């Protein structure tokens, strides 16, 4: 997932608001790298996941009810409409939030495992 998030950061350079997107994907990438290094603590992925969910929630009202066909959202890379673009943005944010949840669950599992001597 770290590689996917690295690619997400890289392709944001031509976005109309690249700093916001590079930041959220970069923070998720940092969480992955910290997890692999054994230095991740639960507040970090919790905060990144919460930020991604809150951001998605601010976009959702503009997308819900637009009835954009899924083939326009996922079938082409070109921007068909603003609603399609925002639906894709929500998808990216939900992926980040989901992955932060996975990291939190993995941290919890590590903590609950007994230490063998």
**What residues does each domain of the chain span?**
2-108
pLDDT value at position 73? 46
pLDDT value at position 17? 87
pLDDT value at position 116? 59
Cβ atoms within 10 A of the Cβ of 48, count?
24
Closest CA to 29 of 96, 88, 93, 91: 96
pLDDT value at position 105? 96
pLDDT value at position 115? 59
pLDDT value at position 99? 98
Q: Residue 36 contacts by C-beta under 8 Å, 6 or more apart in sequence?
A: 2
52 within 8 A of 93, measured Cβ to Cβ: yes
Closest CA to 90 of 55, 50, 45: 55
pLDDT value at position 19? 95
- Backbone torsion region of residue 116, taken as left when φ is above 0, otherwise alpha when ψ lies between -120 and 50, otherwise beta: beta
pLDDT, block means (10 residues), the chain with 117 residues: 95 88 97 96 97 96 69 51 80 97 93 65
């Amino acid at each position: 997932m770290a590689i996917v998030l690295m690619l997400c950061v890289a392709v944001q350079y031509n976005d109309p608001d690249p700093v916001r997107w590079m930041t959220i994907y970069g923070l998720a990438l940092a969480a992955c790298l910290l997890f692999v290094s054994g230095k991740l603590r639960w507040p970090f992925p919790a905060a990144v996941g919460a930020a991604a969910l809150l951001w998605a929630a601010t976009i959702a009202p503009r997308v819900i009810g637009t009835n954009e066909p899924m083939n326009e959202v996922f079938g082409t890379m070109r921007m068909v409409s603003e609603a399609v673009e925002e639906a894709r943005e929500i998808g990216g944010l939900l992926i980040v939030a989901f992955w932060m949840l996975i990291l939190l669950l993995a941290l919890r599992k590590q903590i609950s495992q007994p230490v063998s001597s």
